[in-house]
Structure 1
């Protein structure tokens, strides 16, 4: 009997050691300049390491689809996804869950921005976009492609191919702004948070490019956790992770997103995104 107890104790000790030595990895969609992302998420990794008691590492990726693939393959156990990429990832990994979102992500929005040469003015009415050149952000971006395309087609009654003279995909919101500012494209769609932060930091010349239309709100970014983290990192790990993300109060860390705070999220919050993606043919 004593031998059994000793073996059990040894097994539990070994399990605890393995759990503690395992590295918890996460990634994020590359929606901004890579150096800004590295600064932001290395800070998040340090915060999570301190709060969770396990080593946490941020793994950068080159594209939205690469973030989804890394999550599908369990190369990362947590991801900061946009609305669409989160839906895509959770469809590929049954049992994965959205657990936290920025306070602002409950009512996110996109801007349409235009180069000064268009002479387009800001308006609450949807702008006339016929025959302009237009750039989205990433092909899989919620705020830089999915929702703008939906609103454009809904308001014009035409597919985007019938509206614009040329359509591009910049890759991220920062590049969308710089391409419109430089006149590479005349009009584009951008995440309102990235635009507002760029203006606040003086990183955009508003004499050359300006907001011409603001979209209705929709749910967007969220933290999504992989199924099976409790089995790998110990019972209650998912709950502790959720509380840790929602409990993030450091003003400098929150400002790097930028978010006021993080609040609980669940998969059903993103059903509107899934419906829109199916409507415009981006999901089966």
Structure 2
């Protein structure tokens, strides 16, 4: 009997540890090595704050991030506006819990190779028609959804009808590299990635420049599954939210880059959902 009770206790004490790892991911919107460096540091911070093992799980694409969240392979994700809306539709109870201060007023930059002769302008110029153009990832808010919305609003044409060739680079860093190299004449990027690349000396102003910036819209956010309390204990969701909102390490914030994280809700992303439905990008 004692052996049986001992074995049972081992099972009972071991069982929580099997489910004790809290996992999270992020949309791959930049160079993968940079993302791993950034989010491994975030994992260490969250582990210290939450008192459970925390692991960052890298993914290769925006759809892979959404799938991992849907299948509960990760419980938390750093999504863009569109990918967050798509993920929350697939996981009842999922909530946007925090966003960067800057994500309340996000924008995209349209950039052009110097050979086009395009200059900075208060509106999209007619001269971009017929040029080659690249978005970022197909599921990117700042690299596809909102830029396409503004293009259609300005020209009343689809991108395919507007440009001679339309591409999808996969991420913002690659968009900058391709336009700078002249692979595409014009492209569109997340403004914070552009600023980061400029600061890092990876943008040659003699080859590529910003020609237009979009109006503001909501974008990135942390989205949490609604069943984490059942898995990790009562109040765990509140602990995650507090840990993110209280993150004040300048090095971690600079890596995003964000000034701070502020509260977010699903309702904040209603404009993104509306545009996505207009462009038929939701199931």
Counterparts of residues 199-218 of structure 1 (less than 5 Å): 199-218=198-217
Residues 240, 20 of structure 1: alpha-carbon distance in 2 compared, 3 angstrom cutoff = farther
CA contact (8 A) 1:19 1:233 kept: no
1:56 is the counterpart of 2:38: no
Residues 166, 274 of structure 1: alpha-carbon distance in 2 compared, 3 angstrom cutoff = same
Counterparts of residues 100-111 of structure 1 (less than 5 Å): 100-111=98-109
CA contact (8 A) 2:19 2:231 kept: no
Counterparts of residues 127-206 of structure 1 (less than 5 Å): 127-128=125-126, 129-206=128-205
Question: In structure 2, the residue corresponding to 1:66 is in which secondary structure?
Answer: helix
Query: How far does the alpha carbon of each residue in 1:38-65 deviate from its partner, in whole angstroms, 9 at most, with x for none?
Result: 0000000000000100000000000000
Counterparts of residues 75-114 of structure 1 (less than 5 Å): 75-114=73-112
Query: How far does the alpha carbon of each residue in 1:256-283 deviate from its partner, in whole angstroms, 9 at most, with x for none?
Result: 0000000000000001000001111212
CA contact (8 A) 1:101 1:223 kept: yes
Question: In structure 2, the residue corresponding to 1:273 is in which secondary structure?
Answer: helix
Residue of structure 1 in register with 2:234 after alignment: 235
2:20 to 19, 22, 28: 22
Count of equivalent residues? 275
Q: What displacement does 1:162 show? A: 1.0
Q: Distance in 1 between matches of 2:77 and 2:151?
A: 29
Q: Distance in 1 between matches of 2:248 and 2:133?
A: 38
1:219 is the counterpart of 2:218: yes
Residue of structure 2 in register with 1:3 after alignment: none
CA contact (8 A) 2:100 2:259 kept: yes
Q: What displacement does 1:244 show? A: 0.3
Q: What displacement does 1:20 show? A: 8.9
With the length of structure 2 as denominator, give the TM-score of the two structures. Answer: 0.94
Q: Distance in 1 between matches of 2:49 and 2:12?
A: 22
Q: Distance in 2 between matches of 1:277 and 1:125?
A: 23
Residue of structure 1 in register with 2:274 after alignment: 275
Residue of structure 2 in register with 1:38 after alignment: 36
Q: Distance in 2 between matches of 1:21 and 1:63?
A: 26
Residue of structure 1 in register with 2:251 after alignment: 252
Moved over 4 A (4+): 13-17
Residues 213, 219 of structure 1: alpha-carbon distance in 2 compared, 3 angstrom cutoff = same
Residue of structure 2 in register with 1:262 after alignment: 261
Q: What displacement does 1:16 show? A: 9.9
Question: In structure 1, the residue corresponding to 2:67 is in which secondary structure?
Answer: helix
Structure 2 residues not aligned, in runs of 5+: none
CA contact (8 A) 1:135 1:176 kept: yes
Q: What displacement does 1:157 show? A: 1.2
Residue of structure 2 in register with 1:4 after alignment: none
Query: How far does the alpha carbon of each residue in 1:87-140 deviate from its partner, in whole angstroms, 9 at most, with x for none?
Result: 000000000000000000001000000000100000112222210000000000
With the length of structure 1 as denominator, give the TM-score of the two structures. Answer: 0.94
Question: In structure 2, the residue corresponding to 1:211 is in which secondary structure?
Answer: strand
Q: Distance in 2 between matches of 1:220 and 1:130?
A: 27
Q: Distance in 2 between matches of 1:20 and 1:45?
A: 18
Q: CA RMSD in A?
A: 1.7
Q: Distance in 2 between matches of 1:265 and 1:19?
A: 31
